[in-house]
């Protein structure tokens, strides 16, 4: 047969079977949509993050910064005003703006913290014309008098503030009320995304954040035509010791790399889930072409009988898959770009407009080539099997689907993969070391592949297990559905496998997420017996022991700061001491003392966590030499040993009386303040603690639920994102069920017509198809859920060595929800095929069709 008609034959076949190929093309389109949308959105986010991080550096020719930090001791930190004036007089410098910044949080009118993430404060540095090039004021003007501030427009909008309103701002020095002088827009170098920015006068900012008359850095703006490298040389020649200079362009490059790294992580996660979606789509594509080719066995045999070679017939089939894959991939690319644009608008920060889309060549070519190649590859295997059938045998009778036999090579291969993978996963779970998770990852791939290979073999026993239940619910329809489901185990297995992959990933994530959430919940709240924990707001102020002093005025309150002091060597072991109030700490934290007594804290002794004592070989009554950086020496005696989780944020590794810590460290960092009130927690008690602390928005007052929510919210957010991404795989798996049922209904027109002629009504036919869909969905859900729980257990085991107290938690409710969603998806996928089957005439069997 000549080659030229091959393309025409392929095109004719595609249009002849367009209804059957539609769902396959839709699955390819969904997978390509996911990966193209991920790539385009990731590139756009990278570009937007880079632009935001570098926004503003173009106006900075040279930046001068102090190398001395305020806590370092010795000479005063920062750059003095005399140096700023000297820099301003250098040739080529048009503006020298001294900058100082620190933590500043803003309350709304109800006393709630505005913004999330970083809360920053800075100074308004007007030039000779009264403007600051870093800020563009949309309302009012910059602060020029004491007790006046300006807010970024996003924060002002969230709080409903207008120029002239009173705004409460909290800093490390406490909270105070200010008059709002103006609202501004700032570039990316100043305004943290999602956070807040408050501008003070230079004098106020220096007093709050550094020291009077000193700046943390100076931004130099060059005049027109000034050579920046030459300006940098002039600046470096006059800089005092302890300061350094760098060009704004160099700072922009550093920030761009940091921003791109953060965006790349999210992009990689999305691309990973896109790969899962495409992998699931491969089963649908392969299954569809297998059924199509099986139905066209006579047609293909006739082509070979009239002179077409195996290569030519295979080329026709692969050309069909190429056409379907190319068209579907192109459609997926277009839809993916649209999805990326929608995501850009939905998730753009409120304070900035949506970034423009970036269409890089890779983001266009990779989805197109991947989708097309995957379609051709998925069609290659069934075309190869079809060519193995002799033309005479194919013309004599359609090749029946071969059932999965226990002794077949496929079964042996699948069993070998499953057993090898299971052994590797169990070995990795029961051993420790850095390679354990790598071993589990490799074993998991083998387990999933083996399980998918064996799903056809599991179809018969699984349906047999459910047949008694089906017989009770629908004696006739259920039995017919069970027989039809196992009529072609390979087709059923391939359809269920796609669903199994999605459920395996979702179930594994659910097990890990539930276990980690329970562990974090226990680690953060089990030892908490106080009513409230006072902590700095996120990214906030540094608390000191004096921060707790205002609570002395709160009637009936018992409290203790957690004064963390570092840089110790106790008994030759690097240690951190946490100073507490010996008189109240036993009421505020649950100390499970296993040896000694906590009362010995009042005698100047220390209490040690059991893991610390075990690692160092310490015991109660032992006196240890103590040395702190700076040459201070002494000794401590261990008065108690208590059980503690090494990962706990609250329970210290070494608890010491605050008087002992004060002896060696005059400025410890207060990690939090534990507070107990008369009558326990409540709205009035919460308001009382907040009021005693000056109603400072920089301080968060958390009860047990607040601590739990703060520490476990990150896991919940990540799981929700992963579930949303996995939903694409579930949609594709449901399409596979719909496609399989649709083709099965077409193949069984005569059979369904016979049933209608024998008295089965339309509802009975539709019910039979729905039960078939539910059986396929239940098989995939069962295999996927069991596989996911097993892999989740194994990965969790690798955490138990480093995370004491981590235990396996089976989230029965979440797993049941996953199974119900899978069954609901299968039932929804059966609606169309069931309707078509029910509409068939009852005399179809007599028509000869």
Bridge partners of 779?
A: none
CA distance 719 to 511: 11
Tokens (6 digits) for 668: 């410890």
Output the CA torsion sign for 40, 46, 50, 52.
positive
Between the alpha carbon of residue 143 and those of residues 156, 176, 589, the distances in Å are 15, 15, 45
Tell me if residue 511 falls in helix, strand or coil: helix
Contact status, residue 239 vs residue 79, Cβ threshold 8 Å: no
Residue 544: alpha-carbon gap to chain centroid: 34
pLDDT number for residue 497: 82
Contacts 24+ apart (CB under 8 A), 794-799: 794/425, 794/426, 794/428, 794/429, 794/440, 794/443, 794/444, 795/429, 795/437, 795/440, 795/508, 795/512, 796/511, 796/512, 796/515, 797/429, 797/430, 798/428, 798/429, 798/432, 798/436, 798/437, 798/440, 799/516
pLDDT number for residue 305: 65
Concatenating the DSSP letter of every residue in 574-600 gives EEEEEEE-TTTHHHHB--EEEEE-GGG
Extents of the domains making up the chain: 57-249, 459-526+706-849, 542-697
What is the helix (H) or strand (E) element at residue 135, kind and residue range? strand 135-140
Contact status, residue 425 vs residue 789, Cβ threshold 8 Å: no
pLDDT number for residue 393: 54
Between the alpha carbon of residue 660 and those of residues 519, 605, 665, 670, 699, the distances in Å are 33, 9, 9, 15, 26
Residue 125: alpha-carbon gap to chain centroid: 39
CA distance 211 to 80: 10
**Contact residues for 803 (Cβ-Cβ < 8 A; gap 6+):** 519, 647
- The mean pLDDT values, 10 residues at a time, for the chain of 849 residues are 53 58 74 79 76 75 78 61 90 90 87 78 89 91 94 91 94 89 80 80 93 91 88 89 87 75 64 70 70 65 66 74 86 86 68 68 86 82 66 52 54 87 88 75 85 84 87 79 82 81 85 81 78 81 84 90 93 93 93 94 94 93 91 92 83 94 90 89 86 84 80 66 69 77 76 79 86 90 91 83 72 89 88 81 47
CA distance 386 to 411: 21
Tokens (6 digits) for 224: 């027109």
Rg (C-alpha) for the chain, rounded Å, is 35
Between the alpha carbon of residue 111 and those of residues 150, 175, 687, the distances in Å are 18, 12, 10
Contact status, residue 321 vs residue 378, Cβ threshold 8 Å: yes
How many other CB atoms sit within 10 Å of the CB of residue 504? 26
How far separated are the first and last CA of the chain, in Å rounded?
A: 31
Q: Is 90 exposed, middle or buried (0-12, 13-18, 19+ CB in 10 A)?
A: middle
CA distance 653 to 804: 14
List pLDDT tens digits, range 707-744: 777 766 666 666 666 776 667 677 777 777 887 787 77
Question: DSSP letter at 400?
Answer: P
Within 13 Å and on the Cβ side, how many CA atoms surround 91?
Answer: 8
> CA angle, corner 669, sides to 666 and 675, nearest 5?
110
- Give which of 233, 250, 273, 122 is closest to 186, Cα–Cα: 122
How many other CB atoms sit within 10 Å of the CB of residue 720? 11
Contact status, residue 838 vs residue 750, Cβ threshold 8 Å: no
**Contact residues for 781 (Cβ-Cβ < 8 A; gap 6+):** 499, 500, 503, 818, 819, 822, 823
The whole-model pTM stands at: 0.68
**Contact residues for 749 (Cβ-Cβ < 8 A; gap 6+):** 840, 844, 849
CA distance 603 to 489: 76
pLDDT number for residue 845: 42
pLDDT number for residue 75: 46
pLDDT number for residue 403: 44
């Amino acid at each position: 047969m000549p080659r030229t008609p091959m393309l025409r034959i392929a095109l004719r076949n595609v249009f002849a079977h367009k209804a059957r190929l539609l769902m396959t093309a839709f699955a390819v389109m969904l997978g390509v949509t996911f990966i193209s949308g991920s790539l385009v959105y990731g590139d756009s986010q990278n570009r937007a993050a880079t632009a935001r991080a570098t926004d503003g550096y173009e106006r900075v020719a040279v930046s001068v910064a102090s190398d001395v930090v305020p806590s370092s001791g010795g000479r005063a930190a920062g750059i003095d005003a005399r140096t700023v004036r000297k820099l301003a007089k250098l040739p080529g410098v048009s503006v020298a703006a001294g900058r100082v910044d620190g933590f500043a949080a803003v309350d709304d009118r109800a006393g709630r913290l505005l913004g999330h993430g970083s809360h920053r404060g800075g100074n308004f540095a007007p030039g000779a014309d009264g403007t600051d090039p870093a800020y563009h004021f949309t309302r009012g003007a910059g602060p020029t008098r004491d007790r006046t501030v300006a807010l970024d427009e996003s924060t002002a909008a969230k709080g409903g503030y207008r120029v002239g309103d009173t705004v409460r701002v909290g800093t490390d020095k406490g909270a105070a009320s200010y008059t709002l002088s103006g609202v501004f827009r700032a570039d990316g170098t100043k305004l943290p995304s999602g956070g807040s920015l408050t501008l003070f006068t230079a004098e106020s900012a220096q007093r709050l954040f550094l020291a009077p008359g000193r700046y943390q850095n100076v931004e130099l703006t060059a005049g027109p035509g000034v050579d920046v490298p030459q300006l940098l040389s002039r600046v470096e020649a006059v800089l005092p010791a302890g300061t350094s200079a760098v060009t704004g362009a160099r700072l922009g490059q550093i920030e761009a790399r940091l921003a791109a790294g953060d965006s790349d992580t999210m992009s990689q996660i999305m691309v990973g889930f896109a790969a899962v979606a495409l992998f699931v789509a491969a089963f649908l594509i392969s299954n569809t072409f297998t059924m199509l080719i099986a139905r066209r066995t006579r047609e293909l045999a006739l082509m070979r009988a009239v002179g077409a070679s195996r290569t030519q017939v295979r080329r026709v089939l692969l050309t069909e898959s190429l056409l379907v894959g190319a068209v579907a991939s192109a459609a997926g690319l277009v839809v993916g770009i649209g999805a990326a644009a929608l995501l850009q608008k939905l998730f753009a920060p409120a304070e900035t407009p949506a970034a423009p889309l970036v269409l890089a060549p890779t983001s266009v070519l990779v989805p197109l080539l991947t989708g097309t190649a995957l379609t051709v590859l998925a069609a290659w295997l069934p075309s190869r099997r079809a060519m193995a059938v002799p033309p005479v045998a194919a013309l004599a009778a359609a090749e029946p689907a071969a059932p999965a036999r226990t002794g077949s090579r496929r079964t042996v291969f699948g069993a070998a993969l499953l057993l090898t993978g299971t052994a590797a996963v169990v070995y990795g779970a029961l051993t420790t070391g850095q390679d354990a998770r790598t071993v589990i990852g490799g074993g998991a791939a083998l387990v999933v592949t083996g399980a998918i290979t064996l799903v056809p073999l599991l179809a018969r026993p699984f349906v047999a297990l459910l047949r008694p239940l089906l017989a009770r619910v629908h004696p006739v329809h259920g039995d017919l559905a069970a027989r039809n489901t196992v009529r072609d185990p390979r087709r059923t297995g391939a359809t269920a496998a796609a669903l199994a992959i999605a459920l395996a990933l979702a179930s594994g994530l659910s097990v890990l997420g539930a276990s980690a959430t329970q562990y974090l919940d226990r680690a953060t709240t089990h030892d908490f017996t106080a009513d409230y924990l006072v902590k700095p707001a996120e990214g906030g102020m540094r608390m000191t022991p004096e921060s707790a002093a205002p609570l002395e005025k709160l009637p009936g309150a018992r409290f203790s700061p957690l004064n963390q002091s570092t840089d110790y060597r106790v008994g030759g072991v690097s240690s951190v001491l946490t100073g507490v109030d010996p008189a109240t700490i036993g009421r505020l934290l649950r100390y499970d003392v296993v040896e000694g007594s906590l009362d010995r804290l009042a005698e100047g002794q220390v209490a040690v966590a059991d893991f610390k004592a075990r690692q160092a070989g310490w015991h109660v009554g032992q006196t240890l030499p103590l040395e702190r950086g700076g040459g201070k020496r002494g000794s401590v005696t261990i008065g108690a040993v208590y059980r503690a989780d090494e990962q706990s944020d609250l329970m210290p590794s070494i608890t010491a009386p605050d008087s002992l810590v004060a002896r060696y460290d005059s400025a410890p960092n207060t990690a939090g303040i534990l507070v107990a009130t008369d009558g326990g927690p409540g709205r009035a008690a919460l308001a009382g603690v907040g009021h005693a602390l000056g109603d400072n928005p920089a301080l968060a007052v958390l009860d047990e639920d607040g601590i739990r929510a703060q520490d476990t919210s990150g896991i919940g957010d990540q799981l929700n994102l992963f579930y949303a991404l996995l939903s694409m795989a579930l949609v594709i798996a449901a399409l596979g069920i719909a496609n399989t049922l649709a083709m099965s209904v077409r193949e069984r027109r005569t059979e369904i017509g016979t049933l209608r002629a024998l008295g089965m009504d339309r509802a009975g036919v539709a019910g039979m198809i729905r039960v078939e869909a539910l059986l396929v969905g239940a098989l995939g859900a069962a295999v996927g859920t069991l596989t996911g729980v097993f892999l989740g257990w194994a990965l969790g085991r690798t955490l138990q060595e480093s995370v004491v107290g981590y235990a396996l938690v089976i989230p029965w409710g979440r797993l049941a929800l996953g199974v119900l969603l899978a069954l609901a998806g299968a039932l929804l996928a059966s609606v169309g095929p069931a309707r078509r089957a029910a509409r068939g005439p009852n005399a179809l069997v007599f028509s000869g069709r």
